[in-house]
Structure 1
Amino acid sequence: MADYVFLKLDRRDAVAWLTLNRPERRNALTHGMMLELEDVFARVRDDAACRVLVIRGAGGHFCAGGDLDAMADMPPRPANGAEDPLLPAYRQFGNALLALDALPQATISVVEGSAVGGGFGMACCSDVVVLHQSAHFGVPEPKVGFIPSQIIPFLVRRLGEGPMRDLAVTGRVIDAAEAHRLGVGRYLCGTAEEVEATLQALLDDILKMEPAALAAAKRLVLSCATQDDRTVLDAAAESLVSLLRRPQAAEGIKAFKAKTSPSWRKG
């Protein structure tokens, strides 16, 4: 697939594998890396053969938030009331997170080591999070005088307002066990081998799903955060009828009754 400076993207069969690849900086984010992430998510969205995106970090860490050295190297404040050039640069990462959050494919983040700031946000925009016992999460940015601006709505949705308020005002970094308890990730693994076995089992389950049905179910779940119940139920009924009228539904029902595998099932 495409070449990137700060990322690696490969697709093997129906699974895309995205590696954040700045291990010397614990995969901390620069603006160039944020732009590459947005491009990756658009590329995956448009890849009809891709059914799952797996996100990992190189070198034993997921993502250590924003690169402080890159953030310190900022242009001067504009004169004459012009828009600060930092505004669109930082807002862009929010667009990347929205794109990840809305992907029609299933998304899995495998989190080892540091996942603070933007790394925390990417995990919370993933459908499934696998936690290695070394994982740790937090929003410590206010300790050094700024905030993790673009990740906040995604963290609130995943953790709830109460836990997020606690983290926002204390700057605590939580370990994998607490992240598991708070619902950041549902799978807590003690060893690298357990991580790989858990990931493979998840892929096996996801690749049994019919892709359009998976995308519709995911879209409806996400819509519950922003739409009223009647709107969601109307959309769900329309989606159900549309899916039932596709040949894949007839094939799936026939295969289920006959205890055979439909054509989309992998493995």
Structure 2
Amino acid sequence: MSLDGTTTTRATLPVVAHPATPRLRRAVVTGIARAHDGTLYVNYATGTSATGIWRLSPGGGPPVRIARLPADGFPNGLALDERRGVLYAADSVRGTVWRVPGSGGPAVAWARRTELEPSHAGGFGANGVKVHRGAVWVSNSDRGTLLRLPVRDDGSAGPPETRATGLDGVDDFCFAGTGRTVLAALDGGQVVLVGRDGSRAAVLGEADGLSGPTSVAVRGRTVYVPSAAYRTRRAPNLVLARLRYPSGRL
């Protein structure tokens, strides 16, 4: 999408004849991560053998799958750790964070924990995922939690730490700066500011134009909030806001 709102199709993933994605029963592109050279990585959830992580080269060309993920899972959020050369994909159905080499290769179940699982049958567990200051952070939509999983020296996952609770319907999130202040999208219609002590405060809502926000991104002091309108079924959009302070306050 350009600054004037014009949208352009960057790539189209292979059509799946009979998608059987858990929960949705249709093929969906979910998480996205961008490398410094412009390479894009996306999750493709189909319920078939096409499910996995796909790479889009900055120079164009067809998308290429670099890793297969289980057909009965739902890869959702996606994060890239360029320092370690790996990708992390949060599986909302299997309660798993998958790790995949950035160059491609077999997916490894990096973390599989109760804290990452859905709280009930038919729900969504691990959703958004970010790499930040030596740890992988994951949101759990069903449980309304924000988790921090330390990355050990050998690359394995440390035990999860619950950094915030009460985030009902939390989807994706981002860090407002270099600290641990988080902006999180709640699909009920809010963006909340989560402090390092787990406190939370609503900073954007439906009155600001949100319609089921699903993710948040910050560039400089500009906040970008896409609303997918999954629940409202009206006015999907992109809302821009301005950070007043590096701490994340709008």
For the superposition of Structure 1 and Structure 2, which TM-score range results when normalised by the shorter chain?
Answer: under 0.3
Greater relative CO (CA pairs within 8 A, separation 6+): 1
Q: TM-score, normalised by structure 2?
A: 0.26
**Structure 1 or 2: more strand by fraction:** 2
> If you compute each CA radius of gyration, which structure gives the higher value, 1 or 2?
1
